[in-house]
């Protein structure tokens, strides 16, 4: 239990963590994987290579220090990260290991400045934060396991269909290998796919948005093939080139809170760039199926026509809707950007906007929507990777 003095110490060290946080987390992950290489079966190697995981953890630790008196202030972030943890299969027994190596990293980086009092205070603080995550995740695991056709962690799924959606995006239709239907999921959620790739020492996990409206018997994910020399490309290249119809991959239950409010009938705009279209397709198809009269806008940005996915699907769904506007913009063409003028033409700021795509794309769109007067609570967004704040909005 944190004492008043320990809370004071934790808050007073927040500026130091802000300054040295990423250095601490880099040391932390290095030491963690040296001592527990088995955890490399869980962590995303690409995010480690690019430094995104280290930055995300540093941000989380700093936020916890700032809000140690009122951790409920960071509960939304806890829930968001907990969804990812559950999707990856993080267990309660992992938390003491992480805590031990985090404290060691703080000591290693700060040296004599990390006094016994500071380390004791952070040990207690970490225990409080870890308990919060464990509690939230326990409830998520229980709900996932108890729902109809639900399960925990990973189970085998068979690729029953493989469809090329654009020059670099491939869809995979997945059915449970045990013959059961899939659980109901919310439009916008994602699943984790775990694979063992020949020549790679560890299992690899990637999270992919479910890219169609919920169906009873299968999932669909749509995977962008990254460059062969990109750390993110290891799994996507494997899926594109080595996984065929009839093959099996392991899948976790649906997770995530970037989801469509299906009870709402007010205007809605789906704005995406690149592979960010995948959760939007699930949301857009759901509106087309459940509330086809809802005022709906679908705006999509791609580099060129060859890279524009789902064009026929969008047209087919829109044909059954009574109040829909949609357009695809190609950045390779003059006036091919979704800018302020485009948003003012299409988007009703009294409704809701869902935004997904590259970080710079989302920063631009969100900044313009706010500039138009759309309230923050009506702007919903997600980008792929560790939870990190958008900087330029």
Consult the annotation and say whether 238 binds a ligand. Answer: no
Consult the annotation and say whether 80 binds a ligand. Answer: no
Consult the annotation and say whether 385 binds a ligand. Answer: yes
The catalytic residue among 62, 124, 126, 137 is: 137
Consult the annotation and say whether 206 binds a ligand. Answer: yes
**Do residues 221 and 209 touch, judged by C-beta distance below 8 A?**
yes
95 is catalytic: yes
Phi, psi at 211, each rounded to 5° = -105, 15
Consult the annotation and say whether 225 binds a ligand. Answer: no
Consult the annotation and say whether 127 binds a ligand. Answer: no
Consult the annotation and say whether 274 binds a ligand. Answer: yes
CA neighbor of 283 nearest in space, from 295, 270, 293: 270
Q: In what order do the strands lie in the sheet with 379-382?
A: 324-330, 296-302, 268-273, 352-356, 379-382
Tokens for 238, please give them: 């494997």
The catalytic residue among 95, 141, 173, 238 is: 95
Consult the annotation and say whether 160 binds a ligand. Answer: no
Consult the annotation and say whether 179 binds a ligand. Answer: no
Q: How far from chain centre, in Å, is Cα 152?
A: 19
Consult the annotation and say whether 270 binds a ligand. Answer: no
CA neighbor of 369 nearest in space, from 388, 387, 354, 382: 354
Q: Give the span between the Cα atoms of 105 and 128, in whole angstroms.
A: 19
117 is catalytic: no
Q: Is 264 left (phi over 0), alpha (psi -120 to 50) or beta?
A: beta
Consult the annotation and say whether 209 binds a ligand. Answer: yes
Consult the annotation and say whether 207 binds a ligand. Answer: yes
Active site residues: 95, 137
Annotated binding residues for FAD, written as ranges, equal: 190, 206-209, 383-386
Annotated binding residues for NADP(+), written as ranges, equal: 274-279
Annotated binding residues, written as ranges, equal: 85, 190, 206-209, 274-279, 383-386
Annotated binding residues for heme b, written as ranges, equal: 85
């Amino acid at each position: 239990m944190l004492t008043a003095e320990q809370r004071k110490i934790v808050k007073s060290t927040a500026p130091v963590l802000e300054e040295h946080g990423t250095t601490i987390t880099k040391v932390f992950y290095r030491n963690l994987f040296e001592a527990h290489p088995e955890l490399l079966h869980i962590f995303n190697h690409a995010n480690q290579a690019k430094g995104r995981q280290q930055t995300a953890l540093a941000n989380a630790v700093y936020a916890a220090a700032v809000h140690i008196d009122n951790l409920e202030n960071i509960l939304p972030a806890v829930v968001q990260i907990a969804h990812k943890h559950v999707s990856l299969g993080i267990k309660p027994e992992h938390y003491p290991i992480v805590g031990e190596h985090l404290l060691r990293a703080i000591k290693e980086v700060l040296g004599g400045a990390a006094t016994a009092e500071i380390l004791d205070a952070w040990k207690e603080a970490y225990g409080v934060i870890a308990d919060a995550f464990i509690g939230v995740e326990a409830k998520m695991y229980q709900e996932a396991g108890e729902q109809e056709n639900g399960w925990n962690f990973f189970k085998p799924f068979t690729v029953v269909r493989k469809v090329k959606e654009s020059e670099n995006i491939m869809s995979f239709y997945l059915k449970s290998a045990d013959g059961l239907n899939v659980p109901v999921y919310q439009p916008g959620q994602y699943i984790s796919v775990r694979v063992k790739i020949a020549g790679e020492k560890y299992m690899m996990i990637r999270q992919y948005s479910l890219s169609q409206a919920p169906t009873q018997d299968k999932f669909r994910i749509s995977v962008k093939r990254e460059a062969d020399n990109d750390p993110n490309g290891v799994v996507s290249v494997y899926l594109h080139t080595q996984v065929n119809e009839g093959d099996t991959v392991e899948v976790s239950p649906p997770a995530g809170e970037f989801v469509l409010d299906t009870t709402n009938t007010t205007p809605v705009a789906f704005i995406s760039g690149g592979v960010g279209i995948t959760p939007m397709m699930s949301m857009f198809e759901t509106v087309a199926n459940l509330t086809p009269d809802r005022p709906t806008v679908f705006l999509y940005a791609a580099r060129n026509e060859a890279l524009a996915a789902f064009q026929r699907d969008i047209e087919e769904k829109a044909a059954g809707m009574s109040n829909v506007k949609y357009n695809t913009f190609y950045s390779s063409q003059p006036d091919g950007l979704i800018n302020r003028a485009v948003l003012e033409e299409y988007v009703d700021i009294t409704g809701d906007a869902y935004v997904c795509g590259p970080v710079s794309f989302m920063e631009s769109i969100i900044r313009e929507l706010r500039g138009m007067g759309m309230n923050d609570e009506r702007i919903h967004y997600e980008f792929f990777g560790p939870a990190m704040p958008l900087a330029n909005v």
